[in-house]
Structure 1
Amino acid sequence: MTITSGKKKEKIDRLAELAARDDERGVSLWQEAFRRLRRNPAAIVGAVILALFVLVALVGPFLVPYAPDAQLWKGEVRENIGYIPGVRAENWFGVDHIGRDEFSRMVVGARQTLLVGVVATLIGLAVGSLIGGIAGAAAGLGGRWGRALDNVLMRFIDMLLAMPSLLLAISIAALLGAGLTTVMIAVGVVSVPVFARLLRGSMISQANSDYVLAATSLGVKKPKIALTHVVPNSLAPVIVQATLTLATAIIEAAALSFLGLGNNDASIPEWGVMLADAQRYLDAAPRLAILPALAIIITALGFTLLGEAMREALDPKLRK
């Protein structure tokens, strides 16, 4: 009993000493969050997956053994008997239904998938943050007319939220026509309501803080308070949501490509298009569907793990 009590006392003293050192150095919110991320196994796994994905997307296309659109082994494909050459020395992932190297197409397709996910997320982040920022500032600091503007903007966001996200993306893509740019816009518009409501709620919460009251008492104008104080202090949950939205954007972009609304240029591989093309050859070569599907799942998992770990590190309510 005495030995156990002594160990507990030593542990408490050590934690108190570390806390005192942190207080002396003045650790910021982001520094503390980064420190927690380094100790979180899920964050490490997610970061490793994303690092490999980004490395393959940026560097891989320059190192692939064959051009992704070169039909070098078309003569070996026998669709009438269901024969498509599989894994071998010259083709690490085999070839596809028209004789193109599957490994080269997977590597080059990673860049297109990353491009779609990042651009779509940036569109949603920019538009959603603009609407949410205006609504949050109007609701929290704008008085009666500000609350009226907030109601108008939020009813527009509610209209977007009333439709299922995938159905809304399909509708936008069908109106604009198939193409990679269309997929980016459609997926970006779908994520606008999430960012708008999140930033608005965070800003309204910050508007009731003591520092806002102090700045108002000193005569600082409300637009300046909103731009220089409230918005910067409200961005942490939005940044975390952007990481999670990247995973959703990749999945939704792949879904649109699978439905034939994605990239219509066959010479540029993209994982969703590759998955759609492979459905006709599930019996002859199931790897043509398994490989892009696994790539999409693992990449989305990496973004999700890192995003959830960031949310836990930045939100005191979720810390373990």
Structure 2
Amino acid sequence: MSKADKIDRLAQLTAQRTTSSGDSLWVAAFRRLRSSKMAIIGAVIIAVFVVLAIIGPWIAPYSPTAQTWRGEVFSNRGIFVGPRAENWLGLDNLGRDQLSRLLVGARQTLLVGVVATVIGFVVGALIGGLSGAALALGGRTGQRIDTVIMRFIDMMLALPSLLLAVSIAAVMGQSLTTVMIAVGVVQIPIFARLLRGSMLAQANADYVLAARSLGVRRRRIVLAHVLPNSLGPVIVQCTLVLATAIIEAAALSFLGLGNLDAAQPEWGVMLAQAQRFFDAAPMLAVYPALGIIITALGFTLLGEAMREALDPKLRS
């Protein structure tokens, strides 16, 4: 199943208002989530990550920029300091406490992922909402607007996401803001296509037909009823997009397009800086890599569990 097919399938589920047992689709989905080990594990990982990102700078034992033990590390000779009583995860190549940098870097990693997802969600929702509303309102003009927008969105979906993000980041220059924007732009077509498909699925729902039979204006139906009821699967998609955003942001930082400000350590940048010393001190790369992998795994597990809870075909 292609990326576009998965998005369209999730959008189609919004037309289903109740399950065979008579429960609301969302109530039944939440009941399945509570008994899903995958969802519980993902939620626990996300909760731990968010808590560490929030309180990390306050519980970090040392400043992430303090080169207190610089005289004990000789990276040019391959001499590093590993875990010990004062430094639980050892020191980096500049004599900085690795644990402190990981804790502070968790906030930067979360910030990049959240901001990039918000950018993709807001812009994608505007584009998808415009396309869906134009098509739902009917008429040749609306169909033309939808056709133009969707062909542009399909072209963006056809491009490899990382390649598109690297191209945008290379044009804008090296900074943390660049990484957020580049990763956010990559997510725009996902949200746009999903919201547009969800609105089309809702346009054929019974409550829409009832509103039309009562003489409610089509514009009011679309904006006041169809659009709000179409946002559910888009919110579900945010969990999956967050995992992708964290990985792609780390990839951009690894390629040297992230923020190199030592006062704001970020896991992707830490991973990039550690590659030069991988032979002598592999744990400098392993720690941030594990953080990225486990965090992305948490969002992916929860997102996939939510999608499966909504889709009976996936559960079977």
Q: Same fold (TM over 0.5)?
A: yes
Q: For the aligned residues, what is the CA RMSD?
A: 1.7
SS state of the match for residue 261, structure 2?
coil
Establish whether residue 180 from structure 1 lines up as the match of residue 176 from structure 2.
Answer: yes
Separation (CA, whole Å) in 2 of partners of 1:272 and 1:137: 39
Partner of 2:9: none
Deviations 1:91-122 (CA, angstroms, capped at 9, x unpaired): 01000000000000001000000000000001
Aligned to 2:273: 277
User: Given that residues 141 and 207 in structure 1 are in contact (C-alpha distance below 8 angstroms), is that contact kept between their aligned partners in structure 2?
Assistant: no
TM, length-normalised to structure 2: 0.90
Distance 1:266 1:149 in 2: 47
Does residue 134 (structure 1) correspond to residue 130 (structure 2)? The answer is: yes
Q: How does 1:254-273 map to 2 (within 5 A)?
A: 254-273=250-269
Equivalent of residue 190 in structure 1, options 171, 174, 186: 186
* Counterparts of residues 26-37 of structure 1 (less than 5 Å): 28-37=24-33
Q: What is the one-letter code of the residue matched to 1:286?
A: P
Q: How many Å apart are 1:220 and its aligned residue?
A: 1.1
Q: Which runs of 5+ in 2 are unaligned?
A: 1-18
**In 2, Cα distance between the equivalents of 1:117 and 1:158?**
24
The question of whether the paired residues in 1 share the 8 Å contact of 2:75 and 2:277 is answered with: no
Distance of 2:283 and 2:141 partners within structure 1: 59
> Do structure 1's residue 318 and structure 2's residue 310 form an aligned pair?
no
CA distance in 2: counterparts of 1:58 and 1:73, whole angstroms: 27
In structure 2, how many angstroms separate the alpha carbons of the residues matched to 1:319 and 1:133? 29
CA distance in 2, matches of 1:142, 1:317: 31
Unaligned runs of at least 5 residues, structure 1: 1-18
- Is 1:226 aligned to residue 222 of structure 2? yes
Given residue 91 of structure 1, which amino acid in structure 2 is its aligned partner? N
Contact 1:64 1:107 in 2 (8 A): yes
Which structure ranks higher in relative contact order (CA pairs < 8 Å, sequence separation ≥ 6)? Answer: 2
Query: What is the TM-score when the length of structure 1 is the normalising length?
Result: 0.89
Rounded to whole Å, the distance in 2 between the matches of 1:316 and 1:103 is 43
Which has the higher mean CA deviation after the structures are superposed, 125-134 or 269-278? 125-134
Deviations 1:33-79 (A, max 9, x none): 22211100000000000000001000121111100000011000112
Establish whether residue 152 from structure 1 lines up as the match of residue 148 from structure 2.
yes
Instruction: Report the Cα offset of residue 228 of structure 1.
Output: 2.0
Counterpart in 2 of 1:302?
298
Counterpart of 1:41? 37
The CA deviation string for residues 204-254 of structure 1, in whole angstroms up to 9 with x for no partner, is: 121122221221121111221112221222222211111100000000000
Higher mean alpha-carbon deviation, 51-60 vs 133-142, is at 133-142
TM-aligned CA deviation for residue 174 of structure 1: 1.2
Q: 1:85-124, aligned counterparts within 5 Å?
A: 85-124=81-120
Deviation of 1:159 after TM superposition, in Å, equals 2.9
Q: Structure 1 runs of 4+ off > 4 angstroms?
A: none
Which structure has the larger Rg?
Answer: 1
Relative to structure 1, the CA distance from residue 235 to residue 303 in structure 2 (aligned partners, 3 Å threshold; closer, same or farther) is: same
What letter matches 1:310 in structure 2?
M
CA deviation after TM superposition for structure 1 residue 32, in Å: 2.6
Alignment pair present for 1:289 and 2:285: yes
Between the aligned residues of both structures, percent identity stands at 70
Q: Paired residues, what number?
A: 298
